[in-house]
Structure 1
């Protein structure tokens, strides 16, 4: 297989999927707010239920899809996921009530397996030495998707809050068609693993993360980092509207700025940073910038100050590819899908607890310190940096130096 061509295919897949997700970001909380009669605190709690439910579905289904990709290949899992998301966005576009919108979100949580399987795809086609850089390049697809998606979603939402759902559906269905014709399989039959329910259930899949002492520590870091990350999708839109009076268009443009900054870091900074600093120092530097960015977000008195924190926060993007690189080195080639499914299950747990923590904090402290959720996230990243310092101190030279 031509590795460059395969990475280009998966890059396009991730970009289109993130485009579809990004288009909805500026409008979904607003729709929930409309169903709640304009009650911001109530909408925050309801949106927390949405996010928690989505995380629960990811927790239950990600290891199953990861195990299926180890057995039947990455390609069918990616294509089915894209098709399912496209049909689900159509369902949500028609949803006339909060309950039906929640059902659509549940289906979205079940089908949104493309990202984890895409990382397994990358592990299949790259060498360990190139893996962090490749994860970073594909991470640039996230950035591009979130550059165009929120901007489009914000602008379209100004005309009709449901219109972004239709555009998201079109992006996912186009992606499925694109993948059908051009996405090659990355896992040959001789490297596939027999399907077993003990690895496909959430508890069984997490056992893989306990199979190696350092893998346990890396999984703990990933868990803390992703818990902190939940603050952004959980309360950002409501926070920006409450504190700065931003409308859908301004929120969309801000998220586009976040996407540009993240894309630059993922595509052009991750590889050189890991090569220059070494994985351990790159992790610590990325966590330090993430912590500082959260503090700026939480204390910013104006929207302009919030924007100052965006490029600072973007350097947090060094962390993810470095962690994925280190974790992928501790499992066999036939277990890469299971590893990514286990990672998704772990992150799904953060999707269960994170939104509840941050939306509740936001609702309770709304009139006193609305930026409290971001400050709490900063403390979590500081904790992650401490764990990183301890876990990677005795790591092998090729992984941590």
Structure 2
């Protein structure tokens, strides 16, 4: 399963540093580029928001493997179209279709929950994050290098990786769900609002879900603005952006592959979440204040230490659920992540629009990151006031 996740994430990582540049070649001005980039990011996140619970519920019913293969096919579609089209509208449509099909992280998390004892799932979910970190070490660096020659080339390479991933899933990956949920899928589990309402009835999880919204929204604002922010404020090229994400990937791999398992054995979930949010808050404030590109990149790596929060919250949600409903529960949490991914460009695009017109040394140039820091303040206060702590796990 982790090999499948690696190939999936590697394909996504390849296109991160070049997507803004490709959109720029299909538009007529920086303002138009920014608006279309925001639309592309919003559409993908919205489709994942609406489809993640359905995909999770289907994987509970028919198995993880067939749903995963359909998701890989959706991701391939999202890569092939940008590699060949000259229309920004078709690029947007490919993101809409790809977002509807490619909620593979939901199935991966449910797969891990199927094969991992409940008390080890926080570390197991962290390993998924570490795999994404490895992919973000390799993918954006390679994508940045390829993008220097042609911004379409990374999409073509990503499409080939999707094909390899599909073949791996088809011929190698075993099914993990031994006891499928044979009951009909009720409508409330097929849309995000019903799935989230079902989780929300577990009162102990409400603070954890609130933290997910706040911290992932903060994270998404950073992610959706980083490429344009560094291009506008520091004059970075796709190669420089790719190498900054390379460094970020190393930090994610270290955080979730090495640091989180050790923290999970020694600290309570509440303490892990609190420490992670505090580190993320301090890093964001530094990024917003920094007029130096290299310093901002170092702080971005420190920001990755906040990655201990997500798997810890996912572990809490997973441990309280029935073994045959892991897909829909992970789908509900993933829909929150996707919702913030859809909303963040609506917030980040006008902020980057404004910040890009400021003098790079001005305080206002860091506005997107000051807002992201404010969201973490709210998440930190929620964590401190919560009672979801169940002791070290």
TM-score class, shorter-chain normalisation, is over 0.9
Residue from 231, 249, 259 that aligns with 1:269: 259
CA offset at residue 308 of structure 1? 2.2
1:222-233 map, 5 Å? 222-233=212-223
Query: What is aligned with 2:361?
Result: none
Query: 1:187 and 2:181 equivalent?
Result: no
Q: CA shift at 1:191, angstroms?
A: 5.2
User: Which among 110, 133, 141 is matched to residue 151 of structure 1?
Assistant: 141
Q: Deviations over 1:285-329 (max 9, x none)?
A: 111111112112212111121122033112111111101001112
Runs of 4+ in structure 1 over 4 Å off? 190-193
1:48-77, Cα deviation, whole Å (9 max, x unpaired): 111111111112211111110010011111
Secondary structure at the counterpart of residue 189 of structure 1:
coil
Q: Which residue of 2 aligns with 1:384?
A: 379
Decide which moves more: 350-359 or 161-170. Answer: 350-359
Gaps of 5+ in 2: 359-363
- Give the alignment's TM-score, normalised by structure 2: 0.95
**Take 2:296 and 2:75, find their aligned partners in 1: how far apart are those partners?**
32
Residue 397 of structure 1 is matched in structure 2 by 391
The structural deviation recorded for 1:251 is: 0.7
The 5 A counterparts of 1:2-401 are 10-39=1-30, 41-189=31-179, 193-368=183-358, 369-392=364-387, 395-397=389-391
Q: What 5-or-longer segments of structure 1 have no aligned partner?
A: 1-9
Q: Cα distance 1:305–1:89, how it changes in 2: closer, same or farther (>3 A)?
A: same
CA distance in 2, matches of 1:63, 1:96: 33
Describe the SS at the equivalent of 1:60: helix
**TM-superposed deviation, 1:13:** 1.2
Residues 214-255 of structure 1 deviation map (CA, whole Å, 9 limit, x = unaligned): 112211110111111111332111111111111111111111
2:356 aligned counterpart, secondary structure = coil
What TM-score do you get using the length of structure 1 for normalisation? 0.93
1:108-140 CA distance string (max 9 Å, x none) = 211211111101111111111111111111211
Deviation at 1:188, TM superposition (A): 1.2
Residue 190 (structure 1) shift: 5.2
* SS of match in other structure, 2:365: coil
